[in-house]
Amino acid sequence: MQITGNTILVTGGGSGIGRGLAESLHQLGNQVIISGRRPDALADTTKANPGIASLTLDVNDPEAIRTFAAWVTTEYPSLNVLINNAGIMRAENLRDLPGGLADSEAIITTNLLGPIRLTAALLPHLQKQKHAAIINVSSGLAFVPLPVTPTYSATKAALHSYSVSLRVQLAGTPVEVIEIIPPAVATDLTPGRIPNERMMSLPDYIEQAMQILKTQPTPSEICVEHVKFLRFAEANGNFQKALGMLSSVTL
């Protein structure tokens, strides 16, 4: 992926990791468009970063995604990078789930179906670009689950697997596929995460992730040191140890 001169769409770009990536990429000379469901968060980000554009998008709505994709590619014909970052995390007690499974289904729709649907809608356009990239934001929990957030962890594992397959299928096309694998980062993803000394600070995470992207412009995965214990836990024989540590975490 080229580092500058892109037109980049960042879902969930109004806060957290999405905002951090959007701001950093904007500062490098890219045209950045952020999307999300919260107009106030989008407005705060664009006000603080003149030149960043914002568009409201509910990634839970399949028809809205199709309409959005048609509109954004018309308004921004140079769009060549998609960052699938929007996500939600909720604690779930699997022994006593409500009958409707509302939280579980919302997590799957936002974290997995959203990226798959938006990728499908934009891929025909991206394949026509000279250089393009799809960047999926998964999690260290894709490799060792956090038991108190089982569906969140499962969606991130699925997004990792989807990214691997997408990369294979797009080999030989102009579209690169990169997976960003964050550790626990102090954002507003769940209550109590800001501030939290157990988690990596958002500025530190963004700085380190961007440094990898700058020095390795086409990495298949962006893994900062802080997440490598989880990412390679099974390969290194540390899966049960990591799972035991995460099993004691409560939200």
Please give the Cα distance from 68 to 213 (Å, whole number).
28
Given this model, what pLDDT does residue 198 score? 75
Domain covering 7-247 assigned CATH 3.30.1330.10 in the classification: no
Given this model, what pLDDT does residue 77 score? 98
Q: Is 163 left (phi over 0), alpha (psi -120 to 50) or beta?
A: alpha
Given this model, what pLDDT does residue 251 score? 72
Strand-pairing partners, residue 134, are 82, 177
152 is catalytic: yes
CA angle 209, 20, 77 (to 5 degrees): 95
Amino acid at 51: G
Name residues whose C-beta falls within 8 Å of residue 91's C-beta, 6 or more positions apart in sequence: 148, 149, 190, 250, 251
**8 Å CB contact between 54 and 47:** no
Residue by residue, pLDDT tens for the chain (251 residues) are 899 999 999 999 999 999 999 999 999 999 999 999 999 999 999 999 999 999 999 899 999 999 999 999 999 999 999 999 999 999 999 988 777 799 999 999 999 999 999 999 999 999 999 999 999 999 999 999 999 999 999 999 999 999 999 999 999 999 999 999 999 998 877 555 555 667 899 999 999 999 999 998 789 999 999 999 999 999 999 999 999 999 998 87
Q: Residue 147: is the preceding peptide bond cis (ω within 30°)?
A: no
Q: One of 76, 152, 162, 205 is an active-site residue; which one?
A: 152
